[in-house]
Amino acid sequence: MVNENSTEENMVVTPWEVRGFVDYDKLIKKFGTKPFDENLQQRLAKFTDGDLHYMIRRGMVFSHRDFDKLLDHVEKARSSGIEKGEEFALYTGRGPSGHTHLGHLVPWQFTKWLQDKFDVDLYFQLTDDEKFLLKPDWTYDQSIGYAYENAKDVLAVGFNPEKTHFIIDSEAGIKFRKLATQISKRINFSTTKAIFGFNESTNIGMLYHPAMQAAPCFYPSIVKNKKIPVLIPAGIDQDPYWRATRDIATKLGFYKPMALHSEFIPGLEQGGKMSASKPTTTVFTTEDGKSATKKIKRAFTGGRTTIAEQKRLGGEPGKCNVFAWYRSSFEKDDVALKKRWDDCTGGNLMCGPCKLDLADRVVVFLDMHQQTREELSDVVENCIIRV
């Protein structure tokens, strides 16, 4: 499993940066996770009436930690009469460093599917404190403002508001902060230094933040007043936060957090993943259609240098960011996606029309999403949990 969208030799994957040639097999070995293989897919299908999300069918969910054990737990829970929706909880999040972009929405759409299929609660953390600590010139008001804006985008994906709970770090309640403090007592500086690369110049706020990001792994057990496992659907770049958490879970009397890792969504340039820090190659959910179309027209593709060469040799969709966007979100039909691949490799599809088709789909999506996020603005407050 290799992302062919980059020619950089050095792969860098950290909680704060992803760039270079992304080799997912190497990431599995580096982080010590397991491949999300066909056997696990078939096991999951038994719980979802045979239906599998397109990201699973297409191999975009590539890695896991203890997901097999989670399915074991669900199986036992149901056989012992535990009500559906109470077997586990979901946890994911977002660092609100700016407006949400399309790359953020893709794993959230998968998380929504999990919520729908298992009818479970989602605890969505917005780490406004981390972004304030990381950005020297930022005010707290900026971080909090983006947290609320991002929350609108989360709900607009279609999550059940009655089962979706936002944890905004700066507004977290006493129980949450008490839990984070208990976690921080169990993790020493040498551990965080080894995992995150902290050094003498790291501010002390960032030294404490891993405990804040670990807390939602156990928070559902506190809120529900019973021991409950947590599944984290997220990018593997965030895995270091939960690696330390897994080491201390049993000492604190909780389940180890379990995880599903999905592929990174590339921006419109070559290499790395979509990033708000590169606005010219990223499409934001608040963007107008004209601006989005202009960006997509300039996107990096797997096309040849001339039309004649493209017709003769065919394109290379495996290297194409435009095709990656179809695969990740904008073509849900597997048959249609395969046809697009075949038309490209067969020299029957040129990059220009392919980009315009994508742009049209993105514009339609943005219109619908923006309307929905505004309709749900007043719902955000009801979903924030402050205990």
pLDDT digits 0-9 by tens, 327-344: 999 999 999 999 999 999
CATH T-level topology, domain 279-374: Tyrosyl-Transfer RNA Synthetase (1.10.240)
Contacts 24+ apart (CB under 8 A), 12-21: 13/236, 13/237, 14/197, 14/237, 14/240, 15/196, 15/237, 15/238, 15/240, 15/241, 16/134, 18/235, 18/237, 18/264, 18/272, 18/273, 18/275, 19/271, 19/272, 20/271, 20/272, 21/271
pLDDT for 167: 99
CATH 3.40.50.620 domain locations along the chain: 12-268
User: What number of helices (H) and strands (E) belong to the chain?
Assistant: 18, 9
Specify the 3-state DSSP secondary structure of 269: coil
End-to-end CA distance of the chain: 42
CATH architecture of 12-268: 3-Layer(aba) Sandwich (3.40)
Q: Is 322 exposed, middle or buried (0-12, 13-18, 19+ CB in 10 A)?
A: buried
Mean pLDDT of 320-328: 96
Are residues 129 and 209 in contact, defined by beta-carbon separation less than 8 angstroms?
A: yes
Give the pLDDT band (50/70/90) at residue 298.
Answer: very high
Stretch 132-161: mean pLDDT: 96
Average pLDDT rounded to a whole number, residues 176-201: 93
Does the pLDDT of residue 6 top 80, yes or no? no
pLDDT of residue 2: 43
Portions of the chain given CATH number 1.10.240.10: 279-374
pTM (2 d.p.): 0.94
Residue 226, classified by CB atoms within 10 Å of its CB into exposed (0-12), middle (13-18) or buried (19+), is exposed
pLDDT at 145: 96
The continuous run of DSSP H or E covering 286 comes out as none
Interval 202-222: pLDDT, tens: 999 999 999 999 999 999 999
pLDDT tier at 325, thresholds 50, 70, 90: very high
The proportion of the chain whose per-residue pLDDT surpasses 90, expressed as a percent, equals 83
Q: Which of 346, 247, 355 lies closest to 297, judged by CA?
A: 355
pLDDT (tens digit, 9 = 90+) per residue, 39-84? 999 999 999 999 999 999 999 999 999 999 999 999 999 999 998 9
Average pLDDT over residues 210-238: 95
